[in-house]
Structure 1
Amino acid sequence: MAREIDLTQWQSELVDAFRWGEQERARALVMTLREAQPGRVHGVLEQMLQSPDEKVRQAAVFALGELGGPTSARRLEQQLLLEESRGDPDASSVVQVITQALSQLKSASLRATLIRRLNRLGAGMPEGSDVDDVVYALWRKRHPELIPPVRGALERLSPPVSEGLRALLRLLESSPQELRVWIEDGSVPVEQKTKVLTVLDEEVPDELAPVLPSFIFLAGSMIEMASRKKGQERRFCDRLFTLLLLHRERLFPTLPSNARSILREVARRMIAAPEAVRIIKAANLLEYVGRREDADLLEEHKPQDEVLGRVYEEAVEILRKLPHA
């Protein structure tokens, strides 16, 4: 016998969980309803998609993405067109969640949906964030067949809106060796390399993991400038730290010793940088590439802010447990 669930309360809890970024709780709620009342779950979400409240629609879209399957995929495609036709900021926030959900679904046919979305953006004057959302989704569904439509959109859109597309095309067209040469090419603007890091935040394929030391060596070559003032060099280091920490379990063990040494030095320099330039994530980074003696540096430069200071304290606790060099 199906377990009864208070659907009004369930919807409220789902919206609340998604609103506050508690994806595990939201995911558990979706699975609970699917298991308890499998025949009703799509009907409940359909009702939520009709809501004038964009937060309710966002939560419903997230749930459809978690359910997966052809039915959810078709409904997400329909909702994408509906939200685009609304053309208001609330609808744009729902489109963002739909794009993310489509990127998570396994069907290869959804590439066509994302390409159509990209073509519609290319025909107008989109916000850079809207283009980037599609870029990240397409990277998750990367395939050589994406190269022509991405090139076409790149021809229709101008910087800075098109920078994400340029980064995506670079990744789609380049072999690991070609990408390594491109990273090391001093004539390529740093901001283009930073954008590639941002796209890789979504996913770092196994074949590109060996390329990461080239990004680290580049950060090492720019640390003098990055640690003195805010600019493209500092932003590059910040994005590199973000990428490595997002995929810490996979990436840190793959780094060769020379890359780890340079990364440690870059992190140390950013910890000792002037407060306005400092990158707090450098403390987290030292938890993975630091040495016991780095704890002294962290204590010396610990921020006065209680929350930020705690980040340093946690790193110190980890480093103090390391053996002496």
Structure 2
Amino acid sequence: MKVVKPTKDALIISSVAAGILFSGPALVMASEEATQKDFTKAIEDTQVVRYGHTGYFVSNIQANLADLTLYQGAVDGVYGKLTEKSVKQFQRLHHLKVDGIVGKETLTKLTSIKKPVEEFQYGDIREEVKSFQTKLHALNYYYGQIDGVFGPLTLQAVKEYQQKNNLEETGKLNSPTQIHLLSNRNKKGITLTTKKVKTAHNTELQSSVTSIAKSLLGTKYEWGGNTPSGFDCSGFIKYVFAETNILLPRTVNEIWNYTVHTQKVGIGDLVFFETYKPGPSHVGIYLGNGQFIHTSSSKGVTITSLSNPYWKERYLGAKKVPKA
């Protein structure tokens, strides 16, 4: 056995397995001669393979991880940082102890999987989707039923999660998204708070916010939209304030957590409503004279009165935006 960097814990392996699998670089080059049977048998002989080890055994681990799209490095038989990171991703994905060490449990699971991580997309109805809906719900991205149906609400939640966490925005529960979700340790998502902040209220800013918002009147509603080609309610708010160089979170719940309570609503304040779920789920910008501008699913960007029976019944209150 060859170790790149000495470690306190030596690799414990039977003399037979060591002779087969860890004869140094020569076996890495001649890995094709070794059999899967040797690799499988080594499960019973091996106690731990970790960072710093080299040999055919490491090459086989790398190859298996590459088959599962979890490893993009060279299959060189060197257990480096990239291999360790990939092992941790595999362990998270399969609910194993996340230590980056290939022990018997991790190796058994790794060799039992014959296909890449399954990808889920819009329209799928699968039991496995429930676990991801549950995780997205815990992180304040998903508010629908935990039913395994990859419908519009799940699609929006996945896209928002990918966007916020710098993942490729595919709208699919692909391997990178699944791994990121399962490794996310937040229990209630990221809650932005403010303490003793100045609020972004002055005549010039109020005018800018309301003017920009009104210039977008008639823009169509689009689920997950955040550009003038189409908005959902929070995408509209985020866009308008971004145009005044004020960055807001993406979802209604996050905007609610970020902004500051006010007893008296003023022009440019945000007004929140409880619609399809408990808590804040819709938001608009107050224009004065009892009116607010928002994105309606039926009308797109529109102006509505707070005295409208539907909105009056669901009104939660007004909040001010912290000054950047």
| TM-score greater than 0.5 by the shorter chain | no
The structure whose residues are more often strand, as a share, is 2
Structure with greater contact order relative to length (CA < 8 Å, sep ≥ 6): 2
State the TM-score bracket (shorter-chain normalisation). under 0.3
